[in-house]
Structure 1
Amino acid sequence: MTFFSRELITMPNKLKAGVISLAIITLLTIIKFFAYWLSGSLAVFSEAWHSFSDITTTALVVVTLWLSCKREATSTSIQPTDAQPDTATSETSWKDPELLIALFISIWLFIIALSIFLRIISSEPVLVTNPLITGVVFILLSFGSFFIYRFEAMTADIENSAALKADSQHNRTDMVISLLTGFSLIIYHFGVNLDKYISGVIALMIFLFAIETGINTLLAMTKHKHGYLTEYRITTMIFSLFDRHIGNKIVGWFCDSVDLNQNNRDSLASMVGVSQKLFRYTLIIAALVTTMVWISTSLVQVEINQQAVITRFGQITNPGKPIEPGLHFKLPWPIEKANKIDTTKAITIEVGNVSDKNSALIWGKSHGDNLEFMSADNNFFQPYISLHFRISDAEQYYLNTTDAKQLASQICMQELIFAFSRYKFYELALYQREKWVSEAITKIQNRLDQLQSGIEIVRLDLKDFHPPINVSNSFEQLVAATQTRETMINQAKTKHNVMIPDARLKSLELVSEAQSDSNNKLQLALGESKKYLLQLDSYQQYPDIITKHLQLSSMLNSFKGSEKIVYEPQSGISTDLLYKERFLFKRQGDQEQEESREKRFQPPQKTKEVIRRAPIRD
C-alpha cells in the first residue's frame, strides 16, 4: 500500500487524471449495464456500450500517457542541459502516440455509432420496465460524466495533453447522452415512447463527435503539431458546407499545395464554382423531395387483408379500434406510425418433426427429422404435426407478440409433450386421436389467450405418427391385427345395434298390448259396475217393474235353448192339452223328418233288367 501511494504521488498529473477517470468511468459503466438489465431499454443499451467504449479509449489514453511520460523522462535524462530541444518534424508528428490514440478514439467511436444504428434498424419495440427509476439514475450519472469531462479538460489544458483533451470531449458527449437517456425514460413512464429515437440521437452524436475528433487529429498531424487542437467544431464543419466561399478556399489551398499556375487556377476555380452551385441546387431539390416524402407519410393505405394500429411515440392512439382497410390519415412519421398486420392469412408451422416434401410418409422409410418422443406406455414415436393459426386481434398482437411463429411453436410443443405423456401410443395414433388433438388445441388456445398474444388457432393437423424405423414392421403387423380386431368388434356392435332395437320394439309392443288389455278390462269392469249401480238405482225407484223384469229375464235365461209357447191364461185352454197336442204334433213331425232324411241318404236301387226276346213267328 505504501509503494502504491508513493507511485501515485510521484506519477505525473496527466497520468493521474487518466487513472482517476478510468476508475470512475468503469464504475459508471457497471451501473449503466445494471440499469439496462433493470429496464431493457434500447437507449440504455446504447449508452451502456458507449460507456464500455469509454473504458477502452480511456485505458488506451492512460497507456499512451504512461508511454509519453516514460519517453519524456528518458529523453530528459539523456539530453545535455545546455542542448536545445529539436523542432517538430513531420516524422515525429505522425508518430506522436497521443495523436495516434486520439485518431484511434475517433475510429472506435465511428464503429460504435454504426453498430448502434444497425441495432436500431433491426430491433423490435421492447417493453421498458422501471423507466422512472432508471431515468433518475441516468440523470445522476450525467453529473459523474460532467465531473470527468471538467477534470480531464482542466488537466489537459495545464499539461498540454492531446489524448486527455480528446477523452474529455468524449466524456462531455457522454454527459449529454446520459441526460437525454434519463429524460427519455422519465417521459416513457408517462406514456411517450422515445426509446428508439433517443438511441438514434445518441448514435448520431457519437458519429458526429467521431468525425470532429478525427478531422482535428488529422489536421494536427498534417500541420506537424505535438498536441490535439480543437480547431473546428462539428457545427462549424456543417455550416462551412453552405459557405459560398468555401470552394475558393479549398481551391486556393490545393493550388498552393501543388504549386499550379494562374491559368490552371482559374480553370479549377470555375469548375469548383459550377460544382458548388450544382451541389446547392441538389441539396435544395433533395430537401424538397424529402419534405414531400415526409408529408406523404401522413397517408396510410390499409389493404383488404390487413388491420393497422396507429402509435404516437409508441402509445396506441386507437385502443380497441384498429384501422380497417382503406385510405386513412395520420400525423407524419416519426410522430405517428402505422403498424399494418395481416389478420386473414393462415400461418402454418411444423411442430415435432419437419417432413421432407419429396418423401412419402411411410413408416419404414425416413422422410424428415427423426426427433423421438415417448408415450405413456414407454413407446418411442416420431410425430409430424402442422399447426395453423392466424392473427385475430391486431392490437394485442402488436403489444404482446414479437415472433408469432416462435411463440406458437413453443407453446404447442409444451402442450403436445404433456398430451403424449398422458396417452398410450395406439391411443395417440388410432383410438383417441380426435380426443387428444381437441384437448391440445383447447389448451394451446388458452395459453395464448392468457398471454394476450392476439393469436387464434385454426386447426392442428396430424400428418404422420409412426414408430422408429427399426421396429416399424412389428408395429405395422400389430396395427393390422388391431384393425382386424376392430373390424370384428364393429361387426358385433352392428349386430348388437340391430338386435337390441328389435327386442326393444317387441317388448314395447307386448307392454303396450298388455296395457291395452288391462285398460279394456278395467273399462268393462267400470261399465258393469256403473250399469249395476244404475240398475240398483232404478230398482229402488221402481221395484215392481224391476221385479217383473228380473223374473222375465230369469225365465228367459232358464229356458234358453228350449221351445216356449206363449198363450193367454184367460182363454180357457188347458196346459195339459197344449202339452199333449204339442208333444204329439212334434212326434209326428219328427217321424216325417226322419223318413225324409232316410230317403235322402238312401242309396239308389238298381232297376231290374228286362230281357226282350224276338217275337215268335207263326
Structure 2
Amino acid sequence: MATNNDIRAAIDNSRLTTRLSVFGGIASLLLLILTIVLGMVRGEAGGADVFSLAVIPFSMALLFSLSSLVFGVLRTSAAQEEEEKQLLEKRRDVSALDVEEDVRFTAGRSFENYRRFAPYVLALLGAAMMAIFLIYFSRSWAERAEEVVTGTPSGNALNAALLSAIMMLLSVFSGAFFVGQSRGRSFRWLRPVGAWLVTGFAVMFVSTITALFAHNNHLEVDGYAAQVIFWIFAVLGVEFVTNFIIEFYRPRTMRESRPIFESRLLALFTEPGGVMRNIASALDYQFGFKVSGTWLYSFMERSFFPLIIVWAAILWGFTMIHEIGPSEVGVKENLGKVTSEQLLEPGIYWTLPWPFGTVKRFSCTDLQQVVIGELHDKDEEAAAPADDGHGHSAPKPTKKTGLSQVVLWTTAHGSDDNNFIVAVPPEDGKAVSEADGASISFVRMVIPIDYRIRRDGVMDYAYRNADPVTTLKRIGEQAATEYLASSSMMEVMSTHRLQTEKEMKERIQKLADQHSLGIDIVAVTILDSHPPVEKVAPAYQNVIGAMEEMETKILEAETYAVKTVPEAESKALRIKVEAESYSHMIKTVSAAESSRFTTQLSTYRVMPAMFKLKTYLDFLEKECQGIRKFIVASGLSDEIYELNFEQKERLDLIDTDITAIK
C-alpha cells in the first residue's frame, strides 16, 4: 500500500505534468499555426515544401500534449482519491468505504481505463493524422508535377531562412526540455511531445538550409529535401500501425516501460545517452563505484555533448549569413578572393562558412577620424573635442566631481610620446638676433582629420593599402609639417587658424589621392595649439595674464564711466525739472489768489451785507456740512427749548425723505 508521502509526490508530479502539458500544447499550437499560415496557406516561406512538412511534427506534438494533459488531470484526481481513502481508513469509517466506494471513488478506475486504452486510440489517431497529411502533400505536389518548378523568389528566401531559424530554436529548446523532463517515470507521457518537437527542429533546420540555397537560385534542393522528409514521415506512420498490431501479441509485465504511441525510431535521436552507456560501464569499473549514477554524469550524458555539437554546427552555419546595413556597402570574399568588384547593396548575403568566406562592410556616409597628436583624455581619444575659439579644446568634466577641468599651458597634459610639436618661424617671418636665440618657435597641437570613404574608392581603401588609417595619419603629419614650416606662430595660434585648416585640408586631400586611399577629407581642425609646456609656455602665460589684466582694468574703467555719467545727467535733469515745476506752481497759485481777492473786494464794495451773508452761508454749507445744526429764533426770549441730542436708534417711515425717493 502506498504511503502518504508517495501519494503526495504523485499528486505533485501529476500537477506538474498538467502544467507542462499546457506549456507544450501552447508552444506546439503556435508553431503549428505559423507553419500552416506561412507554409501551406500563403506559401511565402523559402523552401516552402520542407517548411510546410513541419506541420506534421507540430501536429503530433499538439496531439500528445493534449493526451498528457488528460493523463495528468486524471492521475491527479486518482491520487487525491487514494489519499481520501487512507484518511477514511485512519478514521476507521468502514461503513463509508463499503457503501460509497462505487459512487464516490471512480477517479481511480477512470485513470486506469485511460492509461489502458488511450495508447491504442492515440496510436490510431497518430497514424490517421500522418496518413491525412501525407496524402494531402502527395496530391498537392502531383497537381503541379507538370509545371516548371520555379521555387520561392529570392527576395523572400532570406526572410524565410530567418523565420525558420527562429522556429528551429523554439522547437529545439522546448523539445530538449520535455525530453529531459520525461526521464522520470511520472513524466513518461511527455516524451512523445519532446520527441516530435525535436523532429520539428530537424525539419526547420533543413528548411533554413534550403531557403539559403533558394536565395542563390538552387531551387531544386527544396524539392529533393521535401521528398526525403516525406518518406521519413511515411516510415514513422507505418511504425504507429506496427506498434498497434504488435501490442496485442506482446507479453504484459508489471512495469510497462514504453507506451505504444511512443516512436522507437525517434528515440534513437532523442535519447543520445544510450550511446554512452558503454563509456559509463568502463568508468564504473575503473573508479570502483558507480560514476554513471552521479547527477553530473547523467546531465553530461543526456544533454551536454549533443547540445554542444548542435550549437557548434548552428553557430558555424550562421557565419554564412552576413548583413549589410542601410548606409553600408560590402565586398564578398570566398577563400580570400574577391568574388566581384561590384559593391553589394544593403541587404542580407551568404558566403561560405567562416573562415572560408566573409563579407567586408564599409560605410560611405559615416564620418571617421584620425587624430594627429593626442587628446587630453585617452579614454576619449576617438572623439574630437569642441574648439573654444582660442586653439584649445573645451574643458571636460572630471571623473570625480563632474566639474569643468581647466587645462593650462603650464600644466603637463596628454602623453609626451605622442605630442605633435612643429617648429615654425617667428611672427612676420623676421629673424631675431643671435643674442635672442634661434629664429624658430615650437608649437604643440592636436589635429583631428575627419574623412569619409568614397563610394568609388572602396576597393582602393580596402585593398590598395595595408593600413589606410596609419597611412592617412602619416600623410597628415607630412602635410602639417610642410605647411606650418612656412607659417608664423601667432598666425597658427590665433588669426589665421581657419585659413591654416583650409590649406592643410587641401594638401592632405591631394596626398591621399596620390596614395589612392579612396577617401574624401571632410574637415581638418587645429586644437590645443600652444607652445610646449617645459620652458616656453610659462613666459607666454605671464604675458597673456598681463594682457588680460590690462583689458580687465580698461573694461572696469569704461564700465564705471558708462554707469556714472548717465546717473549724474539724470540727477541734474531731475533737479532742474523739480525747480521749474515749483516755480510754475508758486507763480500760478499766487496769481490766482491775487485775482480771487480782487474779485471778492469788488463784490464786497457793491453789497457788503449780502457778501457777508453769502460768505457765512457758504461756510455753513461747505465747512460745516457734517455737523448737526439747530435754528432758534432770537426774538422769543421767554420760550424754552428742549433739545435731544441723542441719535435715533432706527428711522421711522415718517422720517423718510419722499423727495429723495422720487
The normalised TM-score by structure 2 is: 0.30
Larger Rg: 1
